[in-house]
Amino acid sequence: MASPPTCALRSASRSDHGAWRKKGGGNHAVAAPFLFAQVGRAGLTVAIIIAAIILVIFVGRNLWHARVLHQEERTGVANDA
């Protein structure tokens, strides 16, 4: 009696976890959604960092401008620095 054919995934031993994925070729449909999720997460992280930098600059400039206006009101002299 002949043994049933084995799948390439089942022939790998338990000690080399996921080694069949690293050899190239094969089933890329499994890895593609994970890759796109990582790229999307990285893009979102970059967008959040850029938005935070813009927010910090905007708030800092507004605070500086409020301080300059208050100083000009007190002294009556324009501070163009």
Between 10 and 50, the higher pLDDT residue: 50
Average pLDDT, the chain: 76
pLDDT in tens, 44-73: 999 999 999 999 999 999 999 999 999 999
Minimum mean pLDDT among 11-20, 34-43, 61-70: which range? 11-20
Distance between CA atoms of 59 and 47, rounded to whole angstroms?
Answer: 18
Give yes or no for a contact between 79 and 68, defined as CB atoms under 8 angstroms apart.
yes
Residue 55 has what pLDDT? 98
Tokens of 57: 């600059």
Residue 30 CB contacts under 8 Å (≥ 6 apart), including other chains = 21
Q: pTM for the whole thing?
A: 0.50
On the CB side of 29, CA atoms within 13 Å amount to 1
